[in-house]
Amino acid sequence: MATTEATAASRGSRALVALGLLAIAALLGCLWRIFAATPIEATMGIVQKIFYFHVPAAYAMYVGFVTSAVASAIYLWRRSPKADAWAVAGAEVGLLFCAIVLTTGPLWARKAWGVWWSWDPRLTTTLLAGLIFVAVVALRSMGSAGEAERRFAAALALLGVLDLPLIHWSVQKWRGLHPTVITGAGGGLDPAMRTTLLACFAAFSLLVAWLLWVRARAELLRARADALEAEAARRGVLEEAA
């Protein structure tokens, strides 16, 4: 049994390394396309290239937060340690990409709108999602987080994911400054720009998958180490009592 688990762990480690290398290669390819093979937008100039990081980062944020919410629902239902680990991973990775979105957005907005920040519906709902998942991560970062903290964090993740449809549809439902950059017709992008954007989506897909896997694996190892420490402490107490 131990040999089988060790073999599976070894295969998982190799797959994880391969995925990481593939993600790095894809990101390097995207950087080359963005700055060497994609034309500069006529109105905003070089600043428009933030678009190729901002939009895929928003997509990766969705992936992270949805992963956290789905895993949280499974944890609340089955109390699965693996689901709990993926819930933590999704919240942290989603929050990382949310920070990228909320950083690149103002940089782009300053050129496009003339202001760093506007309480636009999409910006506001994105900030709200980020704050909710900050609370999730803060709860799970407590040194003595127990079952109550885990369940509360899982419930918050489910609450936070309800904000994602508001982010997505806010441009269509409420008037605001934020443009609809992607439509069924392609958003009027130049073919080279569209190809670069799709390549960036693919690269960010590999990146978010790798980060989620790494973080979930680390969380599982941490939980197992804590369980072994607790068991060793319990045995020590029992031996002293005997």
pLDDT digits 0-9 by tens, 59-90: 999 999 999 999 999 999 999 999 999 999 99
The gap from C-alpha 3 to its chain's centroid, in whole angstroms, comes to: 34
User: What is the structure's pLDDT at 186?
Assistant: 45
| The pair of three-digit structure tokens given for residue 149, joined into one six-digit string | 């903290």
Q: What percent of the chain has pLDDT over 70?
A: 83
**How high does pLDDT run on average in the chain?**
85
| Spacing of C-alpha 191 from chain mean position | 28
What is the C-alpha to C-alpha distance for residues 212 and 195, in angstroms, rounded to an integer?
26
Whole-prediction pTM: 0.87
Give the residue with greater pLDDT, 99 vs 227. Answer: 99
From the list 220, 101, 86, 73, the residue with the least C-alpha distance to 160 is: 73
pLDDT digits (tens, 9 = 90+) for 175-184: 655 555 554 4
Burial class (CB in 10 A: 0-12, 13-18, 19+), 93: buried
Q: Which residue has the tokens 């942290």?
A: 92
Ranges 169-183, 210-224, 226-240: which has the least confidence: 169-183
Do 27 and 57 form a contact (C-beta atoms < 8 A)?
A: no
The answer to whether 122 and 157 are in contact (CB under 8 A) is no
Distance between CA atoms of 174 and 170, rounded to whole angstroms?
Answer: 6
